Structure 1
């Protein structure tokens, strides 16, 4: 048994144009500090103004860097969305295929970034959500839990691999209950025979549409969708405090 890391190389994800970047307040983590603004009896007007400015800035960022309202499309999949969760479904022969990912906490901007004053240097957050693949046939489903990770072998930043974190066979979903029984055995995807890795994690999944193009679309879609959800959250807060 050879110990290997189950990584699949992807080409650079063409999400951003370095020539046109819009500054966003989300480019760096915020450390909570005591307010030094003048005290007032009602903070709502000031908060509403701040939210309005941030919503405008985020929408400008979307137009300049994320393609505006144009959402990347998954070829061959039906897409359904509910809040932060996205589901992709398709049929492959007698198999029913389901992909699920959630964009909550999928964006991480490096704390080492210092040049936030430069709009050209300001990074646009990229979403790298973990995702699951379930292939159901008969009364069983073959499941993979996946992570998107930055390529360790690439000389250029912004190139990503996927890694199989876990895989197992579970009973098919019945009556809408998607939970996997606790007694189901699951194996780590990080340690697997080389031949099995190539046949199961690469060729088997490629035959079902999980190739480099799919992963590129996933990163683009998740980045666009996460940003859309963030703007929606700001708008909901603005509406809430305005009641």
Structure 2
């Protein structure tokens, strides 16, 4: 059987270069073999890893794929550039359309004030304060454009291959308040579409025997209250009104200038005003994405 010294020499053939020479007569401590083994292991690791570490490139020359944040920034720069190009074209087209429209549209007999998307029309009538309020948000729709001054274009539109021309029109619902003697008459009105006109005619409303006249709006709700309107204020739905009562309310509004002619001017004004708000929104966005 080999002695402990032979085992140590077999396991650590290079221990002389790492340990102090000890004479054969002296006794080594029990931890000597473990210490020598740890020293050899460390030396072996240094001998193997040191050349590999020396071969690594310096920090400044490390190459790797772009991080997620860097990729996201690059994508954002690209998307912002594309958005800026689109905005420049869209703003130019909308401003040209505004120039072609001409001067601002007026609503006869009413003073107009605006606050972003809110538009208010006011006037006095025989001691009554009449106020019409609209909001142009979510009120734009596309409708077929009518061009009576260009018959050739109309003929082209009639061909099956020609796409129909449309224009954007703002048709907001509106509320009317009539204040007199401390009392307020409140009307919630909505604009009628062609299919809604047909339904009203079938119900016997908005039809006159003297002339073929159709209202461009309907009364959805009606209420009368004193002071401020509250949640508990009674409101009558236009769907359940007596036909004569409904017609009398429409006549009251007509006498105060709230009729189909007013609605036409309202639509023209709101269409132009909403387009200006749209251009302003695009310009504000351009200020954000423009490089």
Q: Same fold (TM over 0.5)?
A: yes
Deviation at 1:52, TM superposition (A): 0.7
Richer in helix (by share): 2
Q: Does 1:204 align with 2:237?
A: no
Partner residue, 1:163? 218
Change in 2 beyond 3 A, CA 1:160/1:219 = farther
Partner residue, 1:231? 279
Deviation at 1:160, TM superposition (A): 7.1
Could you state the TM-score of these two structures normalised by the residue count of structure 1? 0.69
Q: Is the 8 A contact 1:138 1:172 kept in 2?
A: no
Give the Cα separation in 1 of the matches to 2:184 and 2:111. 19
Give the Cα separation in 2 of the matches to 1:213 and 1:161. 9
Q: Is the 8 A contact 2:129 2:180 kept in 1?
A: yes
Partner residue, 1:181? 230
Partner secondary structure for residue 121 of structure 1:
coil
Q: Does 1:106 align with 2:139?
A: yes
CA RMSD in angstroms comes to 2.5
Deviation at 1:192, TM superposition (A): 1.8
Q: Does 1:130 align with 2:185?
A: no
Q: Is the 8 A contact 1:151 1:160 kept in 2?
A: no
Give the Cα separation in 1 of the matches to 2:120 and 2:288. 29
Match of 1:77 among 106, 110, 113: 110
Partner residue, 2:128? 95
Residues 22-41 of structure 1 mapped to structure 2, 5 A cutoff: 40=75
Give the Cα separation in 1 of the matches to 2:189 and 2:87. 35
Structure 2, unaligned stretches of length 5 or more?
A: 1-73, 144-160, 199-213
Q: Deviations over 1:35-78 (max 9, x none)?
A: xxxx74513232212111111122223334xx14x221111111
Partner residue, 1:11? none
- Identify which of structures 1 and 2 has the higher relative contact order when contacts are C-alpha pairs closer than 8 Å and 6+ apart: 1
Q: Is the 8 A contact 2:81 2:289 kept in 1?
A: no
Deviation at 1:161, TM superposition (A): 1.9
Could you say which structure has the larger radius of gyration?
2
Give the Cα separation in 1 of the matches to 2:90 and 2:240. 45
Change in 2 beyond 3 A, CA 1:207/1:160 = closer
Partner secondary structure for residue 124 of structure 1:
strand
Deviation at 1:242, TM superposition (A): 3.8
Q: How many pairs were matched up?
A: 185
Could you state the TM-score of these two structures normalised by the residue count of structure 2? 0.58
Partner residue, 2:85? 49
Give the Cα separation in 2 of the matches to 1:188 and 1:222. 26
